[in-house]
Amino acid sequence: MTAPALANAALDETAVALPSQEPARVARDSRPLRLITCGSVDDGKSTLIGRLLWDTKAVKEDQAASLQRDSKGKQNDLGLPDFALLLDGLQAEREQGITIDVAYRYFSTDKRSFIVADTPGHEQYTRNMATGASTADLAVLLVDARVGLLEQTRRHATIATLMGIKQFVLAVNKIDLTNYDRSRFEQISHEFKELALSLGVRQVTAIPVSALKGENVVYDGRASMPWYEGPTLIEVLELATTRSAQTVGFRLPVQRVSRPGESFRGYQGTVAGGSVKPGDSVVILPSGMVANVTKIVTFDLVRNAAVAGDAITLVLDRQVDVSRGDMIAAIDSQPMTGLAFDAQLVALQAEGIQPGKRYWLKSGSRRQRVQVQPISQLDLKSGKWNHADELPMNAIGKVHLAFDEQAIFDAYEQNRTTGAFILIDPDTNNTVAGGMITAKRAAIGGIHTEDSRVILSLPADLADQLMATEIFAGRREDAEVRRLTAARAIEIIDTIDE
């Protein structure tokens, strides 16, 4: 099916909702699409991925032979091998017939390559589902056509939404076991549409699927379901978009300072948002010092510009104090800094999240101590946020974060790197939560976030002249000078005049 034809098909009633202005003619995105499959136990997730691998010819002959061998006695009445065995590679998984841990699989079609995170359905392994969702562009939610939506469907859809996934595919699986019942499919699609809308998800495509028989996965299922005219799963995946570039300005969390010799000092990290080029003015946080970019160094060449995702080394025009954990950011679009933030998080370990406990928080390359105060927990049945003093394992909660020293964040909605964090239990070193910054708060428990330093924003040469005068010589500690280019200083002065 061609791209425009698919767009038309998606307008069909089987597509629950569509993005408002998704152009069908955009140049194909050659980056791999990361997707996650989720759903309840026995919805057939592993079978679906196995089928995707099988039908896209990602299973080689020797692997197929092992599969046939391992499937002995487990073949279904179609005589097909147990595709789930391609996925559940651990001995314990095979013994119990379940998926314990997230597994990553790779396959491709002529049009695109895919990384799929196959995640467990059991509630006790929700942390692995959250792990897979954190990096995914799209979520495939499986529902057993005979059973319909379950609490686990709501849990997974909610976590996927929290993690910022905006594209959902509802795969109504085992449709063959309902005699390809169209009204059953439409009823489930409708129910899911209600759920998706309540979560604020607009882009959902519902597909009736038999993973076992391979209908509407890679090959269409018209022979059995002439009433379905929408896309197959692979067609939706081929046209899905990868994570969009984020709207906030340049961000570089500093991973390492590179000092191979006296003459070179570079700041190494991966651009987490926006872009940068030589000549740009940047601010170093949390110190607030200002500098200009002189060079962007990579192994192959000195570059003219770097964009989000690029792993680079940045050279600045002056000696400033920058260390691992600092952030270099666009001067006119800075992240939030403060001692208190609000966040949402998913509790990932048995001990849950305890009120007032001091955890380690790691965001980007910055690690600092934080006190976590639960506020509320999401009730997955009602969709309501109820007051909570602590958060048990698998809970989705809202919390306050209180820091001892300046924290640096963007809202997760605006930047999925600088807005995300993990919590580490200092007693066990285990990762106990994944979190997303929602907003800054002014104060918590009497801790005030604003300090009282004087900040001077001046053209660089003027700033240096001023600091050299006697008046400022003894007061450098009190004043923080943000050195700007002359043009930027004039811009600021102009806004003050208004």
Partner 1 sequence: MPHTHPETELHNPQSTKPPLDPHLKALENEAIHIFREVAAEFERPVMLYSIGKDSSVLLHLARKAFYPGRVPFPLLHVDTGWKFREMIAFRDEMVEKYDLDLVAHTNPRGAAENVTPFTHGSALYTDIMKTEALRQALDAGQYDAAFGGARRDEEASRAKERIYSFRTPDHRWDPRNQRPELWNVYNGMIRKGESVRAFPLSNWTEVDIWRYIQAEEIPIVPLYFAKKRPIVERDGMMILAEDPRLELLPGETKREEVIRFRTLGCFPLTGAIRSNATTLDDIISELETATVSERQGRAIDRDQAGSMEKKKREGYF
User: Which residues line the annotated binding site for GTP?
Assistant: 39-46, 118-122, 173-176
Query: CA gyration radius for the chain?
Result: 26
For residue 195, state whether it binds partner 1 (rule: CB under 8 A): no
Question: CA–CA separation, 105 vs 409, rounded Å?
Answer: 32
Among residues 74, 190, 259, 475, the one that binds partner 1 under rule CB under 8 A: 259
Q: Should residue 92 be labelled a site residue for partner 1 when binding is judged by CB under 8 A? A: yes
Nearer to partner 1, 168 or 359 (CB): 359
Give, as ranges, the residues between 104 and 123 that touch partner 1 (CB under 8 A): 104-106, 113, 115
CB 272 within 8 A of CB 310: no
Q: How far apart are CA 46 and CA 320, in angstroms?
A: 52
Selected range binding partner 1 among 14-22, 152-160, 387-395, 419-427, rule: CB under 8 A: 419-427
Q: How many of the other CB atoms lie within 10 Å of CB of 343?
A: 26
Strand residues in 90-224 grouped as ranges (E): 103-108, 113-118, 138-144, 167-173, 203-208
For residue 286, whether the previous peptide bond is cis, meaning omega lies within 30 degrees of 0, is: yes
What letter does residue 389 receive in the DSSP assignment? S
State the Cα angle at 369 between 368 and 370, rounded to 5°.
Answer: 120
What gap in Å lies between CA 127 and CA 376, rounded to an integer? 19
Closer to partner 1 at the Cβ: 125 or 168? Answer: 125
Number of residues that bind partner 1 (CB under 8 A): 72
Q: Which is nearer to partner 1, 337 or 365 (CB)?
A: 365
Minimum Å gap between C-beta 138 and partner 1 is 16
Among 256, 358, 384, 476, binds partner 1 (CB under 8 A): 256
Please give the residues from 296 up to 315 whose contact with partner 1 meets the rule CB under 8 A. Answer: 297-302, 309-311, 313
In the region spanning residues 39 to 58, those forming contacts with partner 1, defined by CB under 8 A, are none
Residues 329-358 that bind partner 1 (CB under 8 A): 348
Handedness of CA 25, 31, 32, 36 (dihedral sign): negative
Within 74-112, strands assigned E span 103-108
Report the residue number, 7 or 308, with the smaller CB distance to partner 1. Answer: 308
Q: Which CB atom, from 9 or from 117, has the smaller least distance to partner 1? A: 117
Interface residues for partner 1 in 4-33 (CB under 8 A)?
29-32
Please provide the size of the chain in residues.
498
* Binds partner 1 (CB under 8 A): choice among 9, 38, 130, 204: 130
Q: Is 166 in the site for partner 1 (CB under 8 A)?
A: no
Pair of tokens at residue 359: 């955890």
User: Closest approach of Cβ 83 to partner 1, in Å?
Assistant: 13
Give the residue, chosen from 22, 42, 101, 317, that forms a contact with partner 1 under the rule CB under 8 A.
Answer: 101
Residues making up the annotated binding site are: 39-46, 118-122, 173-176
Stretch that binds partner 1, among 100-108, 184-192, 201-209, 477-485 (CB under 8 A): 100-108
Token code pair at residue 232: 């197959």
The C-alpha atoms of residue 222 and residue 202 are separated, in whole angstroms, by 27
Q: Reduced to 3 states, what is the DSSP secondary structure of residue 193?
A: helix
| Those residues with Cβ within 8 angstroms of residue 33's Cβ, 6 or more apart along the chain or in another chain | 112, 113, 114, 115, 137, 138, 237, 240, 242
Using CB under 8 A, pick the residue from 39, 208, 249, 269 that binds partner 1: 269
Contacts 24+ apart (CB under 8 A), 462-468: 462/489
Question: Hey, which residues between 434 and 453 contact partner 1 (CB under 8 A)?
Answer: 434
Smallest distance, partner 1 to C-beta of residue 108, A: 8
Distances (CA, A) of 120 to 38, 130, 234, 321: 7, 10, 21, 45
Does residue 136 contact residue 163 with C-beta atoms inside 8 Å? yes
CB 293 within 8 A of CB 280: yes
260 binds partner 1 (CB under 8 A): yes
Give the binding range for partner 1 (CB under 8 A) out of 95-103, 199-207, 387-395, 439-447.
Answer: 95-103
Q: Which stretch binds partner 1 (CB under 8 A): 72-80, 192-200, 291-299, 458-466?
A: 291-299
Residue 113 CB, nearest approach to partner 1 (Å): 6
Single out the residue of 187, 241, 255, 414 in contact with partner 1 (rule: CB under 8 A).
255
Nearer to partner 1, 224 or 368 (CB): 368
Kindly state the smallest distance separating residue 259's Cβ from partner 1, in Å: 8
Residues 458-477 that bind partner 1 (CB under 8 A): none
**Residue 247 touching partner 1 (CB under 8 A):** no
Nearest approach, Cβ of residue 232 and partner 1 (Å): 23
Burial 196-212 (b: 16+ CB within 10 A, else e): beebebebbbbbbbbbb
Residues 359-418 touching partner 1, rule: CB under 8 A, are: 360, 362-365, 416-417
Q: Residue 200 is encoded by which pair of tokens?
A: 């604020």
Q: Does 181 bind partner 1 (CB under 8 A)?
A: no
CB atoms < 10 A from the CB of 273, how many? 27
